[in-house]
Chain A
Amino acid sequence: MMLCDVIGTVVSPSEQTPALDGRVLLVVRPVSPTGQNATNKPRVAIDTIGAGVGDRVLVIDEGNSGRQILGAKDAPVKTLVVGFVDEVEMGGRVVYDHRAGR
């Protein structure tokens, strides 16, 4: 899993693989634990928790796990937003606190 910031939304209703029908797609960017720098290129992830732009989230990027969470056998899904990050602690210090707005 990785820590990501939700930075946008994607809509592709007319032409997409059927497994994505009815799913909300978010643009997420992997970030370091402090959230200061991006560590990888952005991804498009399926939302499972009701996350929105500005949220820091946990993203899983592995097919089998993704299919298990969605309960969708043989679906071409891989990148999913699976958790909402409340707090990140490093060296005994809270480096990200959702309530404090980071």
Chain B
Amino acid sequence: MLIGEVVGSVVSTKKDEQLESFKLLVVQVRDHGNRPKDQYVVAVDSVGAGPGDVVLYATGSSARQTIITKDKPCDAVVMAIVDSWDVQGENVYEKWSE
């Protein structure tokens, strides 16, 4: 699993029919210290995440282990919204801090 921030969404009308019904999010990858990397993943949403949310996503065959992506051609899925996150005892992210 990896951590990223939802920064946007993708609209695609012409696509493989097995991908229909997927909500596609653009996720910008974060490093362990919550710093954004210049790396993006388009992931299927399974938890109702939206722009601004820091999320956990899974890639590869693990991405098919949710009900909506089961047996579907999908290589990345957002499967959790992060509330807080600590590294070596220090809080690096708190969703409700604002």
Q: Which residues of A contact B (CB under 8 A)?
A: 1-3, 32-33, 37, 39-40, 48-49, 58, 60-62, 64-66, 68-69, 82-92, 95
Contact = CB atoms under 8 A, between A and B. Distances in A.
A42 B60 CA distance: 20
11 contacts: A32-B40, A58-B12, A68-B72, A68-B73, A83-B14, A83-B15, A87-B10, A88-B8, A89-B8, A89-B11, A90-B8
Interface in B5-39: 7-16, 18-19, 24, 26, 38-39
Contacts of A95: 8
A60 B73 contact: yes
Interface of B: 7-16, 18-19, 24, 26, 38-43, 51, 59-61, 63-64, 71-76
A82 B19 CA distance: 8
B42 A3 contact: yes
B38 A37 contact: yes
A48 B72 CA distance: 16
A58 B8 contact: no
Nearest to B52: A91
Nearest to A95: B8
Given A1-B24, A58-B24, A65 B75 contact: yes
Nearest to B59: A62
Contacts of B38: 32, 37, 39
Contacts of A58: 10, 12, 15, 19, 24, 42
A87 B16 CA distance: 17
B60 A62 contact: yes
Contacts of A40: 39
Contacts of A49: 14-16
A86 B60 CA distance: 25
